[in-house]
Amino acid sequence: MSSPPIRLTSKPRLNAKATSANWERMFKVLRFFKEAHGHCEVRAKADPGSLGHWLAEQRKEYRAGRIRPERLRRLERLGVDFGEPGGGDSLTKIKRERRWAKHLAELADFKKRYGHCEVGRGSKASHGLTVWLSNQRQLANAGRLRPDRWQRLRELGVESGRTDRRWNVRFEELTDYKQRFGHCDVPCQWRENPSLSYWVSSQRNFRSKGRLKQERIDRLDQLGFKWVACYNRLAPPQSYRNWLLVKDRHWDSMLAALLKYKKKHGDCNVRPDDGLEGRLHRWVLKQQSAARENWLREDRRWRLDQAGFLWKQYNPAWDKRFSQLLAFKKRFGHCDVPCHWPKDRLFGHWVSNQRSFRKKGRLSQERIDRLNQIGFRWVAVNGSSHKRKHKRVNP
């Protein structure tokens, strides 16, 4: 019966003499490589028998502190760069530094030719330079680009991204606008440059939401930018005149439509109908809202008063029910309409809803006052309005 095979628990060690001979042979190959190429930057390969793999192993031994001093001296005299102990692959770092410096030189040459660093789609730069610069901007935006590299790019005139370049262009346009008009309040829909007016409004919006960089806030503050749009409508500067003239003409046309409506219907209580009257109804609501918030100009307020404008918009349906309640009180002497009023059940529900709306705070004070003036009771008699007898009051 044969004995079981012997299994090795560890790899067999090579003979020290054979290992030394192999090292000398690879060192000789490395010396021939330098004579042929002028350097020792051999590309690392996975093949254990290759020169690149052997040189990578020597660097690994150096970083671990296991390389023999005499071998280290021979490799350094030959020109092998090991870098600092514990660091990364020095050869890779050298290649990256040389590649980065090469692209920077190409970018400097591009700027010398065309006067800018806008390397991108449609430019005459090479594809490699375009991709490289895009990668540098992405690293800068992520905070992963070395400060010294970013400083060299900034000195050359490179911005971190397309958003920054666009922002700087708009900032220069705003600076020219201030030199022209003396302020930074660009009106909305400015015909000469609509993009600038939209950009100015966006800066205020971004700052209110905490999305504007502090550096940009400081630059706008130094320019005298106002974070709340405010200007004198009665005495507008030159930049507002064309815009306000259009607004004034629109307001005058709507006032003329309101006077025409009053002549036809006898009042200014515009109903939300279709067509022009629906547009006029929205304009009336806008004037009422502006008056409540003290945004309406005094001259416009005076003209609306002369036209008999209603500053409080009444609901026609509510006024109709209120008139019906007045008739009910005149007939029965009180306002306690039962919920299930047989002649008009919807009217009874309306009266009950007024009590419910007041209790929930959903009834306006003006309507509460009008109901109080006619003796409306906010609590139904005997807890139920349908139990009370309704006798006709003789006049």
Instruction: Please provide the distance, in angstroms rounded to a whole number, between the alpha carbons at the two ends of the chain.
Output: 136
Greater confidence, 189 or 356? Answer: 356
pLDDT value of position 211: 79
Q: Which two tokens stand for residue 254?
A: 């709507």
Under DSSP, the state recorded for 160 is S
Q: How confident is the model at residue 236 (pLDDT cuts 50, 70, 90)?
A: very low
Count of CA atoms in the C-beta half-sphere (13 A) of 154 = 10
Whole-angstrom CA distances from 35 to 29, 74, 292 are: 10, 15, 90
Checking if the pLDDT of 140 tops 80, the result is no
pTM for this one? 0.30
Checking if the pLDDT of 233 tops 50, the result is no
Q: What is the mean pLDDT of residues 222-237?
A: 62
pLDDT value of position 343: 83
Greater confidence, 296 or 160? Answer: 296
Highest mean pLDDT among 86-90, 105-109, 238-242: 105-109
Using alpha carbons, select from 247, 291, 288, 289 the residue that is nearest to residue 269: 288
Q: Could you report the per-residue pLDDT of 246-280, keeping only the tens digit for each? A: 667 778 888 888 888 888 877 777 766 545 567 88
Q: What is the mean pLDDT of residues 367-382?
A: 85
pLDDT value of position 376: 92
pLDDT value of position 65: 77
pLDDT value of position 393: 41
3-class SS at 28? helix
Using a pLDDT cut of 90, give the percent of the chain over it.
3
pLDDT value of position 275: 56
Checking if the pLDDT of 313 tops 50, the result is yes
pLDDT value of position 384: 42
Checking if the pLDDT of 230 tops 70, the result is no
